[in-house]
Amino acid sequence: MGERLTTSTLLVTEEDEKKHEIIRAKGEGKELTKEEKQRLRKEKKQHKKNKKDDRGPPEKEKEKEKASVPAPSKPATQSPAHKAAPVPVNASASESPVAAEKPAKSKAELRAERRARQDSERASKQGKKEGGQQSTSSKPKATPNELQPVVKRLPDHVQVDDPVALKKLAKKLERQQKSGQGCSLNITGVKVPLRSDYGYKVSLFSHLHQYSRKNPPTQQISIPVTVIHPSIVRLGLQYSQGIIAGSNARSVALLHAFKQVIQDYSTPPNEELSRDLVNKLSPYISFLSQCRPLSASMGNAIKYIKKEISNIPSQCKEEEAKRILQECIDSYINEKIILASEAISKYAIEKISDGDVILVYGCSSLVNHILCEAFEKQRKFRVIVVDSRPRLEGREALRRLVKKGIRCTYVLISALSYILPEVSKVFLGAHALLANGYVMSRVGTSQIALVAKAYNVPVLVCCETYKFCERVQTDSFVSNELDDPDDLIVTRNGKTHLENWQTVKSLGLLNLVYDVTPPDFVDLVITDLGMIPCTSVPVVLRVKNVDQ
């Protein structure tokens, strides 16, 4: 405890001790004496004053105070919480129930001040909804505090049609580049770029971003880029241009980039690695989500890394800590992705019998792996690859399977009902599995599941457990991703009909990336834990949480 030298952090520790004291006192059934209450109030006031000067870890404290307003204004408090970077939300999730015990003892004036501030903020945010999607790291926030019904709102980066939310997002990005420096440097001008939307958006999806591949986010970054690590810049570019696609590939690339970041990281003086590194990662994550919205698997990976970083003991030396983190990342990739795919192949191969005709859609690394393994184990089957525009990912899957020697047929998704009578099983990959059993996957998957159900063909979804996410979604509108609309423009025989689509005011091009499939259409989910029905996803999530 003695290593923390900044005043704000000192006060934090003192606050912690006070809180413990209060909890102990309460536990013993004693009332706080008047002096103790006064002392607490003084600490708080000083705290706030210091915060205004030093914008070190400000979000946490603001969080705490705001959270300490009593229950009815809880919905409003959650939103400033969401404004803050993901990390403080995690910490505040544990602190806010604790801090919430104090207001019962605080003085009325402090409360009135806060109330006034809250009312003004609430007035400016009327009529917005917020989902629980805030880069899945806000998941822990939702679960412990669900005693009162909280108005869930969509995170800011998904509320594109609201100018106020956009302004907040821009401010947040600006703040992040300053906070990421700790208290030593003070570099100006470099900020996490805010990408602007491109083209007319279909009204149902106007709350989502739509970027053009021709305007990469890196154009707005000036050189030298001292805030964002070059491997992260490269990663962001690879995401936005579609060079790295597919949820496993994206997660693995992200983890490798983070390994590089950790390697090059050096703790600034007067800072602790476990706190500072997490703060350093936040602008990187914002940058990456500007390049391309984070996937559920990436979100879970980031949560894991942040947890590991904050669990580094304070007396650990920097080299040792870095080594531990590298090992953690390696073991995560190995366990959750590589070994998981081995386990899944083992279960899946039991389900493939000789003479099967298997239908696959698009290019899922896991499904391809399963089919190649089954072929090596001398199973006799043939594959039908279904593909769809504009990504035409099926061609990559076709290439890999044919190279192995598997007999394949290739159709476009419009021919689905034509070939389904021949099919005995459908194997699908997943981008994420939601808590209510819905499968989020490449657009077109739910169509395939629906038609397969109509033909009574069993549908099997293969998904590693690290892609399980606590979000709940029943339709594909509320949270999705819009790809570059120019992808839909095609040139045939020298003629490009949609070339000037922007000039036609009433024309919108919609290039959706994901859709959700209800659990009634899915017969079986194969995970590394075994074969489960689609409705048992929350059970697995519960078991995983117990393990952690």
Partner 1 sequence: MEKDTTQKLVEYFRAQIREDPDVASAVAAIRSLLEFLKRDQSETILGLRENMTKAIQRLEETDSSVAVSSGGELFLRFISLTSLEHPDLSQCKNVMIERGELFLKKISLSRGKVGKLCHTFIKDGAKILTHSSSRVVLKVLENAAADNKRFTVYVTESQPDSAGKLMAQKLHNLNIPVTVVLDAAVGYIMEKVDLVIVGAEGVVESGGVINKIGTYQMAVCSKAHNKPFYVVAESFKFVRLYPLNQQDVPDRFKYKADILKTVKDLNQEHPMIDYTPPSLITLLFTDLGVLTPSAVSDELIKLYL
Q: Which of 535, 541, 546, 548 binds partner 1 (CB under 8 A)?
A: 535
Determine the 3-state secondary structure of 406 from DSSP: coil
Smallest gap, in angstroms, from Cβ of residue 350 to partner 1? 9
The answer to the question of residue 528 lying near partner 1 (CB under 8 A) is no
The answer to the question of residue 411 lying near partner 1 (CB under 8 A) is no
Q: Return the closest-CA partner of residue 69 out of 108, 103, 27, 30.
A: 103
Those residues with Cβ within 8 angstroms of residue 42's Cβ, 6 or more apart along the chain or in another chain: none
Distance CA 516, CA 479 (A): 10
* Helix (H), strand (E) counts: the chain: 19, 12
Q: Identify whether the C-beta of residue 424 lies closer than 8 Å to the C-beta of residue 358.
A: yes
The answer to the question of residue 122 lying near partner 1 (CB under 8 A) is no
Q: Which of 70, 230, 390, 533 binds partner 1 (CB under 8 A)?
A: 533
Smallest gap, in angstroms, from Cβ of residue 456 to partner 1? 8
Distance CA 278, CA 509 (A): 39
Lay out the site mask for partner 1 across 298-337 (x = CB under 8 A, - = otherwise).
Answer: ----------------------------------------
The answer to the question of residue 185 lying near partner 1 (CB under 8 A) is no
Segment lying near partner 1 (by CB under 8 A), choices 149-157, 245-253, 409-417, 539-547: 539-547
The count of residues in the chain is 548
The answer to the question of residue 545 lying near partner 1 (CB under 8 A) is no
Complex with partner 1: residue 402 or 524, whichever CB lies closer: 524
Distances (CA, A) of 489 to 217, 484, 486, 509: 22, 10, 5, 9
For partner 1 (CB under 8 A), the number of binding residues is: 18
Smallest gap, in angstroms, from Cβ of residue 384 to partner 1? 18
Q: For 140, phi and psi rounded to 5 degrees? A: -65, -30
Complex with partner 1: residue 242 or 533, whichever CB lies closer: 533
Q: Identify whether the C-beta of residue 256 lies closer than 8 Å to the C-beta of residue 229.
A: no
Segment lying near partner 1 (by CB under 8 A), choices 158-166, 256-264, 306-314, 520-528: 520-528
Q: How many CB atoms lie within 10 A of CB 428?
A: 27
Smallest gap, in angstroms, from Cβ of residue 526 to partner 1? 9
The answer to the question of residue 523 lying near partner 1 (CB under 8 A) is yes
- Residues 437 to 466 in contact with partner 1, rule: CB under 8 A: 456, 458, 460
Q: Which of 25, 110, 183, 524 binds partner 1 (CB under 8 A)?
A: 524
Q: For 409, phi and psi rounded to 5 degrees? A: -125, 150
Distance CA 187, CA 17 (A): 35
The answer to the question of residue 385 lying near partner 1 (CB under 8 A) is no
Q: Which of 171, 376, 543, 545 binds partner 1 (CB under 8 A)?
A: 543
The answer to the question of residue 531 lying near partner 1 (CB under 8 A) is yes
The answer to the question of residue 103 lying near partner 1 (CB under 8 A) is no
The amino acid that residue 511 corresponds to is: N
Segment lying near partner 1 (by CB under 8 A), choices 46-54, 228-236, 361-369, 521-529: 521-529
**Helices 273-291 and 247-264, interaxial angle, to 10°?**
140
The answer to the question of residue 420 lying near partner 1 (CB under 8 A) is no
Smallest gap, in angstroms, from Cβ of residue 396 to partner 1? 28
DSSP β-ladder status, 425-429 and 459-462: parallel
Smallest gap, in angstroms, from Cβ of residue 527 to partner 1? 11
E strands along 302-452, which residues?
356-361, 381-387, 407-412, 425-429, 432-433, 439-442
Q: Identify whether the C-beta of residue 390 lies closer than 8 Å to the C-beta of residue 415.
A: no
Q: Which of 76, 252, 536, 541 binds partner 1 (CB under 8 A)?
A: 536
Here the contacts of 530-533 (C-beta below 8 Å, separation 24 or greater) are: 530/347, 531/347
The answer to the question of residue 343 lying near partner 1 (CB under 8 A) is no
The answer to the question of residue 532 lying near partner 1 (CB under 8 A) is yes
Distance CA 510, CA 508 (A): 6
Name the site residues for partner 1 (rule: CB under 8 A): 351, 353, 425, 456, 458, 460, 520, 523-524, 529, 531-533, 535-536, 539-540, 543
